[in-house]
Amino acid sequence: MARPTGTKLIADNRRARHDYHLSDRIEAGIALTGTELKSLRQGQLTLGRAFGDVRGNEVYLVGAHIPAYAQGNLANHDPDRDRKLLLHRKEIDSLTGKVRERGLTLIPTRVYFKDGRVKVELAVAKGKETRDKRRDLADRDAKRQMERALKDRSR
């Protein structure tokens, strides 16, 4: 059987762009069970409060909710368990150094299928303050109004 090619988005963490200043991004695999994979194929995943946690020499995805598979049995997975992320040693060491800095954390921005395998995109992030969020919203509104004015003007 041929392996699927290309990418298919499962979930996008749009809230992360609103709440954090995102910088370096890295792609990681996720260690999953069979029923978790089936739930992901149905597009069921919530990244709302998820984050990456460095424990020793490993990185885990904490707070991601993958609902139980509807056609599963007693061996169904725990929807809120911590999932191990698959990274190379150099990547883990690099992330550990960045996370140890004050105020930085790992936030999952996207989860997707890539060539039949589940991947998560992690971003090194720093939390935004309320005034930064307000400024971003004001900038976005101003851009939208300018584009609207230009569009009306060209008619």
Domain boundaries, the chain: 7-128
Q: Extract the tokens encoding 3.
A: 């392996």
CATH number for the region 7-128 comes to 2.40.280.10
DSSP 31: -
Tokens 């303050």 belong to residue? 129
pLDDT of residue 5: 77
- Across 71-75, 104-108, 124-128, least confident range: 71-75
User: Over the stretch 50-64, which tens digit does the pLDDT of each residue have?
Assistant: 999 998 889 999 999
pLDDT at 29 exceeding the cut of 90:
yes
DSSP 42: T
SS3 149: helix
Q: Closest Cα partner for 92 from 117, 119, 122?
A: 122
Q: Is 81 left (phi over 0), alpha (psi -120 to 50) or beta?
A: beta
pTM of the model: 0.79
